[in-house]
Structure 1
Amino acid sequence: MENNNISTVFLVGFQNLHSYKYSLFCLLVLTFCVSICGNALILTLVSYSKNLKSPMYFFLTQLSICDIMLSIDSVPVTLHVVVEEGGTISLVGCILQYTFFVFSEASECLILTMMSYDRYLAICNPLHYTSIMGDKLRWKLSIISWTSSFIYFLIFYSSISSLNFCGPNIIDHFFCDLAPILELSCSDVSFIQIEAKVLIFPAAVIPFLIIMISYVYIVNAVLNISSFLGRQKAFFTCTSHLTVVCFYYGTLMAVYVFPASLRSLLFNKIFTMIYAVVTPSLNPLIYTLRNKEILEALTSLTNQLTCSSWGHI
């Protein structure tokens, strides 16, 4: 990194919260606990249960890893900023928070895409599903996803770190996002702005289009099923994934796609908090509460632990 006039950044966070800051702090702590514990539970159940070895659950564990990383990256700093009504972070830490956020978000987009492809194969090509979506392909898709996301991380970290930052050192946000970081630089940032617009296509736009195309084929296949129960069962296997996709991409587009003239600063903060802080805690709830196999695995694990505890008394 070049010599900079600033070494720390002050995050303003939410102003004028007053006594509400403790309520927001408690809510964020609860959200963080649900995210970490819920996603860790999914990882445990899939590893433990012999009935959760299908490709869908393999990709679900990858999604849980993304959510844990995203929560660890965004929530602790947000908690400090809320309770202290602002907080200081090092310039390097601010850049790392954003680039790690890019890594987590890009991974999530790509993994959601793999999950839609998995559902497409299961519903539209069920006879060949097992032979196509074998261990080799699922691991290959997973490696491509994580490797691509890590490349995005390196590109953004290298580009932002090459800038000269001369201040001011104040970001009116609770989070180190790209636009606020670039506003602190006295270098020419036009290249990074173009770079971000170009990279968003392979990282988010193309995956979103693939998901939408997959669901066009899925809906068409479901409608062609003759029995009502068959249609209901087929579409039920997609509802959790579709709910997560709608919620995740809906909030993401609200911040990064809608024209800036239609978005206030408070609007950006609220929707950023939803997809960066709240969404990672919703994913395990959506997938566990609506999934009979996961609930059965949870019951089995609980019973086994209970019996084991009684056996040691």
Structure 2
Amino acid sequence: MEKRNQSAITEFLLLGFGDLHNFKILVFTLFLIVHIMALTANVLVIVLVGVTRSLHSPMYFFLSQLSLSELLFTSDIVPNMLWLILVGGGRVSVARCIAQFHILCIPSAAQCLLLAAMSFDRHIAICRPLHYATMMTVTRQLQVVTSCWLLGVILALFLYTFLRKLQFCDLNTIDHFYCDVAPLLQLSCSSTCTVELAVAMVTYPLLLSPFIFIIVTYICIIRTILKIPSSTGRHKAFSTCSSHLIIVCTYYGTLTFIYLFPPTDNSIELHKGLSVLYTLVTPLFNPLIYSLRNQEIRAAIFNYIQSFKKWKAEK
């Protein structure tokens, strides 16, 4: 990349969604409602799994960690996005911009690995049910979850050490609503070869390895399910996996397009739309899918509602 002989810049201009004209308040209100619903739904899942004895199983423990990653992820992006909608764009320091991407990487990486851990849990439960209790112990669950989060932190720090060395000169406009790696590389006036290599070393294995692992485990799961003689047993086994499969397809579909296919001038609006789906809708979509399709979670919610009504009536 050709170096620009201009003074270094210290802040970026985030364009956000541009001038929304008369739709600014409408879009802000809609996004705020979805964000509040996503926060509430994920907190509800975490609390329910923590306090409900019937939900103290590996599948729901991993689900609560998935909700935690969604909370961290959406809290890093959406508040600033809402502010950009109101003001029609805004400025952010270079250090804060890189820090935002660094924080974004941790729950994103952890979520990829947690989805793989959840598929492994379903594989053991369906393909090796007699060994499930001995293989998925509390200690093993904690080890898996700790590894997912620790690896997320390590990969984020790895990228951060390279990104913080980038230099920025005359160009400082980012046509997005958050700081992502692609625009940072485009705006840098220093050599980006090493950074691009580091990003590729992290992104491709992080996306492809868990996804391939999930595909392999579900091939084994489907083969085992098809051998179940009763249609009722097959339906029950499929139902325990369908919610996870829906989330995997939604998450990896948007994430793959965003990070494996960098935006061009003609596709920037499409990337923005997918980023809204990824940062705003998916954090709400995940807990709703599990809550609406899972009988045990619905039962736990109903029991607590009934208990609250009884307590309120007695009071």
TM-score between both structures, scaled by the size of structure 1: 0.95
* Cα distance in 1 for residues equivalent to 2:74 and 2:242: 24
Distance 1:56 1:290, change over 3 A: same
Please say which of residues 236-245 and 250-259 is displaced more in the overlay: 250-259
- Structure 2 partner of 1:86: 89
In the alignment, what sits opposite 2:69? 66
Is this contact kept in 1: 2:14–2:175, CA < 8 A?
Answer: yes
Structure 1, residues 213-272: CA drift from partner, whole Å, max 9, x if none? 111111111111111111000000011110000001111122223475696110111111
Please, which moves more after superposition, 51-60 or 248-257? 248-257
1:307 deviates by: 2.5
Letter matched to residue 236 of structure 2:
K
Q: Which of 151, 154, 158 is equivalent to 1:148?
A: 151
Q: Does 1:218 align with 2:221?
A: yes
Contact 1:167–1:185 (CA under 8 A) maintained in structure 2: no
1:305 maps to 308
CA deviation after TM superposition for structure 1 residue 179, in Å: 1.0
Q: Identify the match of residue 177 of structure 2 among 174, 177, 199.
A: 174
Query: If the length of structure 2 is used for normalisation, what is the TM-score?
Result: 0.94
**2:111 aligned with 1:102:** no
Q: Deviations over 1:176-220 (max 9, x none)?
A: 110111222211111111111111233221011101111111111
1:138 and 2:138 matched: no
Show CA shifts across 1:145-172 (max 9, x none).
Answer: 0110000111111111122222321101
Matched, 1:238 2:238: no
Asked if the contact 2:107–2:149 (Cα under 8 Å) also holds between the matched residues in 1, the reply is no
Say whether the 8 Å CA contact 2:207–2:256 is kept in structure 1.
no
> Match for residue 251 of structure 2?
248
Change (3 A) 1:165 1:260: closer
Matches within 5 A, 1:253-264: 253-258=256-261, 264=267
Identity %: 38
Q: 1:171 to 1:155 in 2, by over 3 A?
A: same
Q: Identify if the C-alpha distance between structure 1 residues 231 and 50 changes in structure 2 by more than 3 Å, giving closer, same or farther.
A: same
Contact 2:9 2:170 in 1 (8 A): yes
Partner residue in 2 for 1:228: 231
Unaligned runs of 5+ in 1: none
- 2:274 paired residue among 253, 271, 275: 271
Aligned partner of residue 91 in structure 2, secondary structure: strand
Query: Which of 93-102 and 14-23 deviates more?
Result: 14-23
What is the correspondence of 1:116-127 to structure 2 with a 5 Å cutoff? 116-127=119-130
Residues 260 and 37 (structure 1), Cα distance of their counterparts in 2 relative to 1, 3 Å cut: closer
Give the Å deviation of 1:70: 0.7
Supply the distance in 1 between the matched residues of 2:64 and 2:96 (Cα, whole angstroms).
28
Give the stretch that moved more between structures: 33-42 or 86-95.
Answer: 86-95
CA distance in 2, matches of 1:77, 1:159: 24
Q: Which runs of 5+ in 2 are unaligned?
A: 1-6
CA distance in 1, matches of 2:249, 2:13: 33
Q: How does 1:191-202 map onto structure 2 within 5 Å?
A: 191-202=194-205
More deviation in 175-184 or 70-79? Answer: 175-184
- Equivalent pair of 1:21/1:83 in contact (CA under 8 Å): yes
C-alpha RMSD of matched pairs (Å): 1.5
SS at match of 1:204: helix
Shift of 1:303: 1.9
Give the counterpart letter for 1:80 in structure 2: W
In the alignment, the residues of structure 1 paired with residue 252 and residue 39 of structure 2 have an alpha-carbon distance, to the nearest angstrom, of 21
